Structure 1
């Protein structure tokens, strides 16, 4: 192989092995400051303890973000990527998770009354101890993919497998 071609092949191989940009620190800081950020890259962002109301995070990438103890009432998470999110003890009253991917998310002890889950992916989502009593858009088939415990509060007529 010619030296220039060898260098190009090595460079292309090394570049392909690099991880994609994981997060956008500026966008995370904006949200921590209480700003909406639809479609933002908040991957692995630390939003724990955030107190904000009515944010627009539609379509945002929040995968593996920390939303523990956050109070984010009426926040729009529609079509957002919330896979592997830790939202322990969070308060999301009236928030919309319509069409969001909540695969393997943890909402242990979260308050989700009035939240909308229409079309949300709940595979592996942990709702142990969560309050979902007045949540909308839940179906038995989607809840069968999630888990909870005896303290999980659900709308009348719905059940959830134990974790």
Structure 2
């Protein structure tokens, strides 16, 4: 009986502890304009941030709010950007190679010169986004995403409608 009580207590304790919760210190560093490769920025509120040339490669930005940011020349290579909201953001010449952008919202974003080589775009919304000079995009990637008539893509590529 005692073993059952101990086991129940351990299960309750592990359920109450968030497994991969955000790291407030790392989020504060990024808000201050510092690079943070491999950081846990889960659900970070970065709305309106102006920080160019950051290295956020391999970072976990899942469900982060990147609305209206200016993050030109930022390295998001191999980052977890699932479910991010990047409405109206500016990411010119940024690197998204190997990043997971599943269900991300890039509505109205400026992504000219950005590299998407090997990025996962399943469910990503690029409505109204400017991607005409983006590199590394393949039709097979874009077939998994969506956009609208205002989305600007490199010549020869298309997006399904959202």
Q: 1:159 to 1:21 in 2, by over 3 A?
A: closer
> Residue 17 of structure 1: SS of its match in structure 2?
helix
1:21 offset after TM fit, Å?
A: 4.0
Could you state the TM-score of these two structures normalised by the residue count of structure 2? 0.97
1:121 aligns with 2:128: no
> Residue 110 of structure 1: SS of its match in structure 2?
coil
Alignment correspondent of 2:5? 7
Moved more, 91-100 or 5-14: 5-14
Alignment correspondent of 1:145? 144
1:48 aligns with 2:61: no
Alignment correspondent of 1:102? 101
For structure 1, the residue ranges without an aligned partner over 5 or more in a row are none
Could you state the TM-score of these two structures normalised by the residue count of structure 1? 0.96
1:69 offset after TM fit, Å?
A: 0.2
Aligned residues: 161
> Residue 82 of structure 1: SS of its match in structure 2?
coil
For structure 2, the residue ranges without an aligned partner over 5 or more in a row are none
1:15 offset after TM fit, Å?
A: 2.6
Alignment correspondent of 1:34? 33
Query: How far apart are the structure 1 equivalents of 2:122 and 2:129?
Result: 16
Query: How far apart are the structure 1 equivalents of 2:11 and 2:21?
Result: 20
Query: How far apart are the structure 1 equivalents of 2:127 and 2:71?
Result: 19
Query: How far apart are the structure 1 equivalents of 2:40 and 2:56?
Result: 10
Query: How far apart are the structure 2 equivalents of 1:21 and 1:8?
Result: 24
Q: Which aligned runs of 4 or more in structure 1 are off by greater than 3 angstroms?
A: none
Once the two structures are superposed, the pairs formed by residues 49-88 of structure 1 within 5 Å of their partners are 49-88=48-87
